[in-house]
Chain A
């Protein structure tokens, strides 16, 4: 019984990032809006897990989750997928070139990831003929960056539970 419970717990935590990724996409909650505050938890989730535990969050899942987000939000297929993969690419690169991972390192390296992903997002929307709210995009990037440490702590705690 204890073995079964341990296995269940292990599987739950093992698939938690994938579960969260699809839950966010299918629920249309990739951006959290609260009054003037707006942050993209999709980006933070992908960046953190690709950087820390890439084996738990496959690139295929990230791509699929981006496609789902596009369908839910009515964007041309591939736009969110591309920006999420860009985030994953920067995270993968940072993982390869960094020896010691700390919150500050993660946080600073998140800036180019965010800038690049939003630039790709903006370009794709622009060439798809959709109007872009520049102020919203800027506001979203700033708050996503500011709130990164909070989610970092939450995900790190989850990771510690997984390891234990």
Chain B
């Protein structure tokens, strides 16, 4: 019994502690280093933040270079597929265009009516001039974080919590800021919780991300009159985002009230970051 325990001990020491097989580092030492790294993540020291920012910026740049061939390959594949589907797309777009032309005249009338009504009640129209544009640098979908990296960071006064928009639609918020890059956590992510308001019922709720599947509305009042197609906007309740940034529309499913986003999160190349509120603070 003692002998077999000794054998296990020797095997364990040989595998983990000794620097065998021309290894420069001990496995045990590196495991300890990894654990220290994980604990260091929770420390908010200035020196650590600088070091983290430097490491992340360097790796992001390296990733861009390494992923260039695969990016080129996928873009060639995409272009080829687009050329093959050209005729089908043309017919579809023609029909869509006719439909849009019809809707356009209705929309112009509604816009005019809306402006007149707003003037009437002296409502303050939110300004949208304080935007900073950025390019999506790396878009690697992680199983845990639906996020991407943009090419601006603290060099352009980007701060954690700022709202990120695709055109005028809300798609996420800043969660990690480095010197020359930032991470955007998308609304579809498991960890994303956004306070929203649903129009026309004016119910408040929390938009909860679920990774691959659609985001859902939670914490709705027990009695609500939501319908398919109701529009979802940011409520601005947390005091960081502006009020009334469009997010998506309601789709009532069997078990959950889902939200179909206005923006296709897999097709984003450029984003706008709303720096309004954070500057005020």
Contact = CB atoms under 8 A, between A and B. Distances in A.
The answer to whether A and B interact is: yes
A160 to B, nearest CB: 20
Given A28-B140, A68-B63, A93-B11, 8 more contacts: A54-B23, A60-B25, A78-B37, A79-B38, A92-B27, A93-B15, A131-B144, A136-B143
A85 B52 CA distance: 21
A86 B20 CA distance: 17
- The DSSP consensus for interface residues of chain A is helix
Interface stretch (A1-9, A104-112, A122-130, A146-154): A122-130
Interface string B59-82: 110110011001000000000000
A136 B30 CA distance: 28
Interface of B: 11-12, 14-16, 20-27, 30-31, 33-38, 40-42, 52, 55-56, 59-60, 62-63, 66-67, 70, 138, 140-145, 147, 175-176, 183, 190-191, 211
Contacts of A128: 38, 41-42
B56 A78 contact: no
Contacts of B55: 67, 71, 77
Contacts of A81: 30, 34, 37
A140 interface: yes
B190 to A, nearest CB: 4
Nearest to B36: A78
Contact of A74 (B15, B33, B52, B145): B145
Question: Max chain A CB contacts within 10 Å: which of B14, B26, B31, B56?
Answer: B31
